[in-house]
Structure 1
Amino acid sequence: MGVNVPTIKLGSQGLEVSKQGLGCMGMSAFYGLPKPDADMIKLIHHAINSGVTFLDTSDMYGPHTNEILIGKALKGGMREKVQLATKFGIINRDGKGEVHGDPAYVRSSCESSLKRLDVDCIDLYYVHRIDTSVPIEITMGELKKLVEEGKIKYIGLSEASASTIRRAHAVHPITAIQNEWSLWSRDLEEELVPACRELGIGIVTYSPLGRGFLSVGPKLIQNLPEGDFRKIFPRFKAENLEANKVVYEKISEMATRKGCTPSQLALAWVHHQGDDVCPIPGTTKINNFNENIGALTVKLTPEEMTELSSLADMVGGERHAFMTSTWVNSDTPPLSSWKVDA
């Protein structure tokens, strides 16, 4: 392969991860049918042997089946080679996502994930979405106990506002936030990125390839399998397709000029945001994985970064199908409002 995958310090608490990670969601859920375990374990082993050792999953992927898959893949001495991240907080009930952050749920979720993953400790445990009915200090209090008990090493938040991040960090240091960040999703830059850098928190970016659109453009939508979650996303709807097609074409033009692929260019743009940023593109194919780590060799000038950054202004449609559950609506009640049952 010839691609050296360096490591970076994620946050200021001591966690070191590969500069690019592997998002594992699509192996088991949401993007069409689950893929065969044997094929996905082969891919995960290939990633680890290539130097991509930061694996990202969640209890809601499947649900549960993705964690079980990762657990199988980490048998035979692989566990010691990886930095393992999972998440909790979302329950899919009758097709609707419920968010829970109360202490009993935090603990039971962690215990269940440890069993499915078949590990003694989770390296990075994220609050997947913020429960806006529970003060963040209460959720964090239980996570802090889990750190003290050795069940998790580091704590993360996904889709949390700057004020929620600050309040959480005051209870126990936050190592990383996980948010969407890509050439067409830049809403975290004004508030969240400065807050994280002030507090020494790393930034893990999910969907850095725009859920695949920045890799292949509109033909992705034509080939989405039945039941693919992306069909409900605003940017994949017909009314937004023309604007987003132009964005993809401009990325492709620059990629051709630079002698790389659109995927590599889009990932390189994320990497160039800083050494505290780690994208976790997902894939189910070894060839795509190999292409993605090639992004680490792509260098961008300040002028090219500016040209690419301007594309976000042209994008049509919201970045998420459920914007109400993203960081823009993640403030929690004050701690003084919490009543402890006698």
Structure 2
Amino acid sequence: MCCKCARNWASASCLGGPLGQGYLAGKLPLDAQAGFDGTTDLRKTFPRFSREVMKANQPTLDFLKTFGEKKGATRAQIALAWLMAQKPWIVPIPGTTNLDHSRENLSSINVNLTPEDLREIEAAFAKITVHGGRMDAKQMDQIGKD
């Protein structure tokens, strides 16, 4: 809905959490959820961060790593470059408290994805099943999503 409104109003659409709360950067260990502080980090309760689900979603990270190596980019940079390549009014806003991660993320503007690259990415992800919900049912209900 947000993207549709942005297109209709010829404005930018800012996407929060474009790296899956850090998952797509590929730097979280399989047991990351156990280390999240439940009082300050909602990922503690997100199904996608359970050990089993993170392991099941490993093909996503494997592809991003392999593809990134071909392009001289990190997983995060490929994910962000792909988002920016979708529409000129899409502006991903990755959050970080780490200056090095911020620099890495900003460098994604230098990753040139050709139409052939985009087709390769789409074809690869069409074969990958994403496991685990973004949030649990109660959280989705709280934000008005089914």
Matches within 5 A, 1:55-94: none
2:24 counterpart of 1:214: yes
Runs of 4+ in 1 over 4 A off after TM superposition: none
Q: Does the CA contact (< 8 Å) of 2:32 and 2:49 recur in 1?
A: no
Q: 1:327 to 1:295 in 2, by over 3 A?
A: farther
SS in 2 for 1:205: strand
Match of 2:95 among 263, 275, 282: 282
* Map of 1:262 onto structure 2: 75
In 1: Cα distance, 2:27 partner to 2:101 partner:
15
2:135 to 311, 314, 320: 320
Cα deviation for residue 302 of structure 1 reads 1.8
Gaps of 5+ in 2: none
d(CA) in 2 for partners of 1:327 and 1:272? 29
Q: Is residue 31–residue 51 contact of structure 2 (8 Å, CA) maintained in 1?
A: no
Write the distance in 2 (CA, Å) between the matches of 1:296 and 1:194.
23
Task: Kindly indicate whether the alpha-carbon contact (under 8 Å) linking 2:16 and 2:94 is maintained by their aligned counterparts in 1.
Answer: yes
| Residue 338 (structure 1) aligns with | none
Q: Secondary structure at the match of 1:300?
A: coil
Q: Supply the distance in 2 between the matched residues of 1:306 and 1:326 (Cα, whole angstroms).
A: 33
Q: Given the superposition, is the C-alpha separation of residues 231 and 222 from structure 1 closer, same or farther in structure 2, using an over 3 Å criterion?
A: same
Q: TM-score, normalised by structure 1?
A: 0.37
The structure carrying a bigger strand percent of its residues is: 1
C-alpha distance 320-303 of structure 1, shift in aligned 2 (>3 A): farther
- What residue identity is the alignment partner of 2:37? E
Cα deviation code 1:284-307 (max 9, x no counterpart): 111111111110000111232233
Number of positions where the alignment pairs a residue of Structure 1 with one of Structure 2: 139
Task: Provide the C-alpha distance between the structure 2 equivalents of 1:220 and 1:268, rounded to a whole number of angstroms.
Answer: 25
Deviations 1:45-83 (A, max 9, x none): xxxxxxxxxxxxxxxxxxxxxxxxxxxxxxxxxxxxxxx
CA distance in 2, matches of 1:217, 1:287: 13
Q: How big is the shift at 1:241?
A: 2.1
Q: For residues 132-151 of structure 1, what are the structure 2 equivalents within 5 Å?
A: none
8 Å Cα contact 1:218/1:245 also seen in 2? no
Identity of aligned residues (%): 33
- Alpha-carbon distance change, 278 to 327 in structure 1, aligned in 2, over 3 angstroms: farther
Q: C-alpha separation between the residues in 1 aligned to 2:30 and 2:8?
A: 38
Paired amino acid for 1:204 = C
Find the partner of 1:292 among 105, 115, 118.
105
Counterparts in 2 of 1:241-252, with a 5 A limit? Answer: 241-252=54-65
Q: How far off is 1:221 after superposition?
A: 4.3
Note if contact 1:215-1:262 (Cα within 8 Å) is conserved in structure 2.
yes
Superposed CA RMSD: 2.4
Please tell me whether Structure 1 or Structure 2 has the larger radius of gyration of its CA atoms. 1
Q: TM-score, normalised by structure 2?
A: 0.80
Structure ranking higher in helix proportion: 2
Q: Tell me the alpha carbon deviations over residues 202-247 of structure 1, each in whole angstroms, 9 at most, x when there is no partner.
A: 3111111111011125516437343232121111123322321111
Match of 2:7 in 1: 197
Query: Contact (CA 8 Å) 1:218, 1:241: kept in 2 or not?
Result: no
